[in-house]
Copies of this chain bind each other. A is one copy, B any other.
Amino acid sequence: MYVVVPFDARDPKTRLSALLDSDERQRFARAMLEDLCRTVEQTGHEPTVLATADLDVEWPVRVDDRSLSAAVNAVLAERDEPVAVVMADLALATPDALERVFDADGDVVLVPGRGGGTNVVLARHPDFRVDYHGVSIRDHRERAAAADLATTSVDSFRLSTDVDDPSDLTEVLLHSDGAPATWLIDHGFAVEVQSDGMTTVRRD
Contacts and interface: CB of A to CB of B under 8 A. Distances in A.
Contact of A199 (B94, B96, B116): B116
A199 B115 contact: yes
A52 interface: no
Nearest to A14: B196
Classify the interface of chain A: helix, strand, loop or mixed: mixed
A135 interface: yes
Nearest to A193: B134
A170 B116 contact: yes
Interface in A113-169: 114-116, 133-135, 137-138, 155-161, 167
Given A135-B193, A191-B135, A193-B134, A116 B174 contact: yes
A198 B164 CA distance: 11
Of the listed residues A157, A159, A167, A197, the one surrounded by the most CB atoms of chain B closer than 10 A to its CB is: A157
